[in-house]
């Protein structure tokens, strides 16, 4: 499988990040690893160069800091339009969180039938609310701060604080909620995200983590 590594050409650590990514990707048995670091002088040159490179690979691998580069952001969009798989480089701390959050989201989806983008919406529908509470409970169990959980749920700190109390109350007094929570916990225990972090809604979660990190 051919992969194109993309990062911020102005990043002083770009060469170091590229070498580390190249080594990691080869361990994952990618047969050909390319590296995009050009800075096009105009829109036409940008489109031509990126189209040529994208046509030569099946996957685009975005280095940490890619959001700082307008060219990298445009290339990602072009790659998505071409139907390529997108992979992301994160440091160890954020990779651990991403895997855990993805696993939580997949477990919730397996029980409720809707994805991360649905239960983090502004909808007040009961099942969306229950899913948000269960997501909150599992994140809290993993030791995430209220601020981080609030960010992941598209809420503010005050709302996250209220969810903290609501989760305990629903678990104590609401048998239907308790049953749903137990089902999600069981699904969570049997769910393992794949090595490439390519699960449903992964890109949304990554963008939240990345924006919080920058």
The tens place of each residue's pLDDT in the chain, 214 residues long, gives: 788 888 888 888 888 888 888 887 887 777 766 666 555 556 666 567 767 777 788 888 888 777 777 788 788 888 888 888 888 776 666 667 777 887 898 899 999 999 888 898 999 999 999 999 999 999 999 888 888 888 888 888 899 999 999 999 999 999 999 999 999 999 998 865 443 333 345 556 655 555 544 3
Q: What percent of the residues of the chain are helix, what percent strand, and what percent coil, each to the nearest 5?
A: 60, 10, 30
Asked if 87 and 61 count as a contact pair (C-beta separation under 8 A), the reply is yes
Q: What whole-number distance in Å separates Cα of residue 97 and Cα of residue 134?
A: 17
**Any bridge partners for residue 6, and if so which?**
36, 62
What pTM value is reported for the model?
0.57
């Amino acid at each position: 499988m051919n992969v194109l590594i993309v990062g911020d050409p102005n990043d002083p650590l770009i060469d170091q990040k590229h070498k580390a990514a190249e080594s990691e990707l080869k361990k994952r048995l990618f047969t050909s690893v390319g590296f995009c670091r050009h800075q096009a002088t105009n829109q036409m040159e940008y489109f031509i160069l990126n189209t040529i490179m994208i046509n030569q690979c099946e996957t685009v691998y975005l280095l940490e800091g890619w959001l700082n580069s307008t060219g990298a952001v445009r290339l990602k969009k072009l790659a998505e339009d071409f139907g390529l798989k997108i992979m992301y480089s994160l440091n160890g701390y954020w990779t651990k969180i991403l895997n855990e959050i993805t696993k939580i989201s997949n477990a919730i989806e397996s029980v409720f039938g809707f994805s991360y983008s649905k239960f983090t919406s502004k909808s007040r529908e009961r099942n969306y609310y229950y899913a948000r509470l269960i997501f909150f409970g599992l994140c809290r169990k993993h030791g995430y701060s209220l601020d981080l959980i609030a960010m992941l749920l598209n809420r503010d700190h005050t709302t996250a604080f209220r969810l903290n109390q609501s989760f305990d109350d629903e678990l104590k007094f609401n048998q239907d909620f308790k049953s749903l929570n137990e089902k999600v916990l069981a699904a969570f225990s049997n769910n393992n995200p794949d090595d490439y972090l390519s699960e449903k809604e992964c890109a949304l979660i990554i963008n939240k983590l990345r924006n919080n990190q920058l």
